[in-house]
A = this chain, B = another copy of it.
Amino acid sequence: MSAVPRETVSIDLGDRSYPILIGRDLLQDAALLDRYIKSRHLLIVTNEIVAPLYLSTLTQALEQAPGERRIHSIVLPDGESFKTLDTFGLVVDALIEHRLNRDASVAALGGGVIGDMAGFAAAAYQRGIDYIQVPTTLLSQVDSSVGGKTGVNHPRAKNMIGAFHQPRAVIADIGTLATLPEREYRAGLAEIVKYGFIYDTKFLAWLEANAPQLAAREDAAVIHAVKRSCEIKAAVVGSDEREQGLRAILNLGHTFGHAIETATGYGAWLHGEAVGVGMVMATDMSARLGWITDSERTRVVGLIERFGLPIKAPAIGAEHARRLMGMDKKVLGGKLRLVLLRRLGEAEVSGDYPAAALDDTLREHFGT
């Protein structure tokens, strides 16, 4: 066992409350898994990249735990392009084939795509069974761990089919990040810096001071960044579980980012990369509106760049982007509401801005 401290973030949702356990070597800790995974019958949903790395470790630890457990698994193809209704159907097939009952659980072992699909399968199977998240990417550890969103994409729009379904526990083993490609690790950092921009200038300053340690994936820095990110997301989601109000600020950069992801085809840009550029654009627009200063804009863009993330959008064209954003879920009654920085450390959702500010931002970054 490592001497690295373990952290727990408690997500308070009444009778659906659950813990996020953050630490190293959690996957092989049979006693810990036994404490948080009560079902005797599980289906582990994972993908072809993660399975060779961690599936047997997790399966063996679960089987070592006291009491008999039946553990099945399904290994899906990797990638956002498989986050479809068809793949969801394969997971349901496996649940039925292995005759999982209502007291069984689904465990999601992988990144956000696996978590979203496994979570939606758990939400819909027999109208809802338990699920456990075992996120193996930085992005999913800080993003999918909180909020209860599950679902799949439609060929014409992301995350269009899904459910709100809370996990029973999240086991975030930062040891799994060792095998994460650099580009994906950085995409996770984009989501982490977002929490600083929208909510917490103190955390933002900590990120600036600890950028080298984070870039080097040092345990203590990673554990703190994951913990603080989950705490902030939990505070924002808080009493707004169904995403009517404040929760939307978590989408800083996402409307612009979705346009990038859709225009370039799911998977060409990583979600975190697209959000990174999207945050640059939202920050730029906030500066155009005079809500933040030019030096604050520079500070935001600088931190994104410092984590090795792209800050330049692809030339998809302003009009094309506008059409793609028109299908986005953030459009309510036809009006395009955007998440902008009212000031550094405070985001708000607003449709109350001069049209020119959006036009200029789109043209500047996406080209005409």
User: Which A residues lie at the B interface, using CB under 8 A?
Assistant: 85, 89, 92-93, 96, 99, 101-103, 123-128, 149, 151, 154, 156-157, 159-164, 242, 326-327, 329, 331-334
- Kindly identify which residue among B102, B128, B154, B159 contacts A164, using a CB–CB cutoff of 8 Å: B128
Bound-state Cα–Cα, A12 to B334, Å: 32
- Kindly identify which residue among B85, B126, B159, B162 contacts A89, using a CB–CB cutoff of 8 Å: B85
- Kindly identify which residue among B127, B161, B242, B334 contacts A125, using a CB–CB cutoff of 8 Å: B161
* Interfacial chain B residues near A85, Cβ < 8 Å: 85, 89, 92
Can you give 17 A-B contacts (C-beta < 8 A)? A85-B89, A92-B154, A92-B161, A96-B154, A96-B156, A96-B157, A96-B160, A99-B326, A101-B332, A124-B151, A124-B163, A125-B160, A125-B161, A126-B329, A127-B149, A127-B164, A128-B242
Bound-state Cα–Cα, A99 to B156, Å: 11
Task: Judge whether A329 and B102 touch: CB under 8 Å.
Answer: yes
Q: A92-B154, A154-B92, A154-B96 are in contact. Are A124 and B332 (CB under 8 A)?
A: no
Bound-state Cα–Cα, A190 to B164, Å: 35
* Interfacial chain B residues near A331, Cβ < 8 Å: 101
Bound-state Cα–Cα, A159 to B125, Å: 9
Closest B residue, CB atoms, query A164: B127
Bound-state Cα–Cα, A367 to B154, Å: 47
Q: A85-B89, A154-B92 are in contact. Are A160 and B126 (CB under 8 A)?
A: yes
Bound-state Cα–Cα, A163 to B93, Å: 17
Best-surrounded residue of A99, A149, A332 (most CB of chain B within 10 A): A99
Task: Judge whether A332 and B128 touch: CB under 8 Å.
Answer: no
Tell me the interface secondary structure of chain A in the complex: mixed
Bound-state Cα–Cα, A294 to B331, Å: 63
Bound-state Cα–Cα, A93 to B102, Å: 30
Closest Cβ of chain B: how far from A248's Cβ, in Å? 12
Task: Judge whether B161 and A101 touch: CB under 8 Å.
Answer: no
Task: Judge whether A101 and B333 touch: CB under 8 Å.
Answer: yes
- Kindly identify which residue among B103, B127, B161, B333 contacts A151, using a CB–CB cutoff of 8 Å: B127
Bound-state Cα–Cα, A102 to B334, Å: 10
Closest Cβ of chain B: how far from A146's Cβ, in Å? 15
User: Beyond A127-B159, A163-B163: 18 further Cβ-contacts under 8 Å?
Assistant: A92-B154, A92-B160, A96-B154, A96-B327, A99-B327, A101-B331, A101-B334, A102-B329, A102-B332, A103-B333, A124-B161, A124-B162, A125-B160, A126-B162, A127-B162, A127-B164, A128-B163, A128-B164
* Interfacial chain B residues near A162, Cβ < 8 Å: 124, 126-127
Bound-state Cα–Cα, A338 to B102, Å: 16
Task: Judge whether B92 and A127 touch: CB under 8 Å.
Answer: no
* Interfacial chain B residues near A93, Cβ < 8 Å: 154
- Kindly identify which residue among B126, B154, B157, B163 contacts A127, using a CB–CB cutoff of 8 Å: B163
Bound-state Cα–Cα, A331 to B128, Å: 15
Closest Cβ of chain B: how far from A338's Cβ, in Å? 16
Bound-state Cα–Cα, A93 to B84, Å: 13
Best-surrounded residue of A151, A157, A160, A326 (most CB of chain B within 10 A): A160
* Interfacial chain B residues near A156, Cβ < 8 Å: 96
* Interfacial chain B residues near A157, Cβ < 8 Å: 96
Bound-state Cα–Cα, A151 to B327, Å: 26
Bound-state Cα–Cα, A329 to B85, Å: 23
Closest Cβ of chain B: how far from A255's Cβ, in Å? 14
